[in-house]
Amino acid sequence: MSTPDGLPPLREVIRALGLAAKKSLGQNFLLDFNLTRRIARAAGPLEGATIVEIGPGPGGLTRALLLEGASRVIAVEKDERCLPALAAIAALYPGRLDIVAADARHVDYVALGPAQPSRIVANLPYSVGTPLLVGWLKTMPWPPWFDRLVLMFQREVAERIVAKPNTKDYGRLAVLSQWRTRTRILFTVPAEAFTPKPKVDSALVELIPRDTPEPACDVTALERVTAAAFGQRRKMLRSSLRQIAPDSEALLEKLGIDPKARAEDLPPAVFCRITNGLAG
């Protein structure tokens, strides 16, 4: 079977490398070029862009990104079994693919030297998708080094990222994501599209950094506030916030926020105001 780039089909690559999928590494591969090219186009325009790809695996999305015109891809992969497949792609696109054999949780992304504009595009491993996103959202300084995140998550996580107040999915992840970025689900991908097939569907999410998230506040302190508030999401704020603000009721009243409100009722900006109020 021929492929658009002339490299062997992914099934063959996987067989040749003996790449039995490891659940611990969240290995659910996308083998259909039409789908990976659709994801690449959704992250476009790619001309002139540096793409940091997390978890390229045998290289399906990597190949699509390069085919669709990415000037440079920096691919961060933890599983060394994938490296020969990635080296073959690098040989086909001289100077356009850098392979970083590392755990994406411990990479200093700025030190990788991504030229501007740069963005992160990935079919993320389920196991570490949320911590990776939270790490990127907490990037300092802000605006960050990336101009966009285009990321595949389990559908349930995708829905938590874009959730609005007063919905069951609204929580810490929505507050942090929507305060710092504009979020939307681009499209959903059925479980059948992955090999091996996971239990749940996935969705591709776009997050575009806001230049100046409003209101400004300290991101670490904001995390503390949302952890307390959503840790007891059905409780009124005056009681859920007591662990970090003994006089929470007075603080909320001073800020003009109803102490009887619940965390899930409030938009991201209100959590920033509480954070700033706590800082005095």
Nearest approach, Cβ of residue 161 and ligand SAM (Å):
17
56, 114, 209, 213: which one binds ligand SAM (CB under 6 A):
56
The residue from 50, 52, 90, 125 that contacts ligand SAM (CB under 6 A) is 125
Among the listed residues 214, 208, 248, 200, the one whose alpha carbon sits nearest the alpha carbon of residue 228: 248
| Cα–Cα distance for residue pair 250/267, rounded to 1 Å | 20
Binding ligand SAM (rule: CB under 6 A), the pick from 13, 46, 65, 128 is: 128
Asked if 57 is part of the footprint of ligand SAM (rule: CB under 6 A), the reply reads yes
Position among 60, 114, 209, 268 found at the interface with ligand SAM (CB under 6 A): 60
| Residue 180 interacting with ligand SAM (CB under 6 A) | no
Instruction: Give 97 or 257: the residue with its C-beta nearer to ligand SAM.
Output: 97
129 binds ligand SAM (CB under 6 A): no
**Binding region for ligand SAM (CB under 6 A) out of 78-86, 167-175, 205-213, 219-227:** 78-86
User: In the window 8-37, what residues touch ligand SAM (CB under 6 A)?
Assistant: 25-30
- Least distance in Å: CB of 44 to ligand SAM? 17
HEC-encoded secondary structure of the chain: CCCCCCCCCHHHHHHHHCCCCCHHHCCCEECCHHHHHHHHHHCCCCCCCEEEEECCCCCHHHHHHHHCCCCEEEEEECCHHHHHHHHHHHHHCCCCEEEEECCHHHCCCHHHCCCCCEEEEEECCCCCHHHHHHHHHCCCCCCCCCCEEEEEEEHHHHHHHHCCCCCCCCCHHHHHHHHHEEEEEEEEECHHHEECCCCCCEEEEEEEECCCCCCCCCHHHHHHHHHHHHHCCCCEHHHHCCCCCCCHHHHHHHCCCCCCCEHHHCCHHHHHHHHHHHCC
> Nearest approach, Cβ of 203 to ligand SAM (angstroms)?
13
Q: With respect to ligand SAM, which residue has the nearer C-beta, 19 or 237? A: 19
82 versus 174: smaller Cβ distance to ligand SAM: 82
How far, in whole angstroms, is CA 70 from its chain's centroid? 19
The least CB distance from residue 120 to ligand SAM, in Å, is: 12
CB of 12 to ligand SAM, least distance (A): 14
Letters for 196-235 (x = contact with ligand SAM by CB under 6 A, - = none) are ----------------------------------------
Q: Which residues bind ligand SAM (CB under 6 A)?
A: 25-30, 54-57, 60-61, 76-79, 82, 103-105, 123, 125, 128
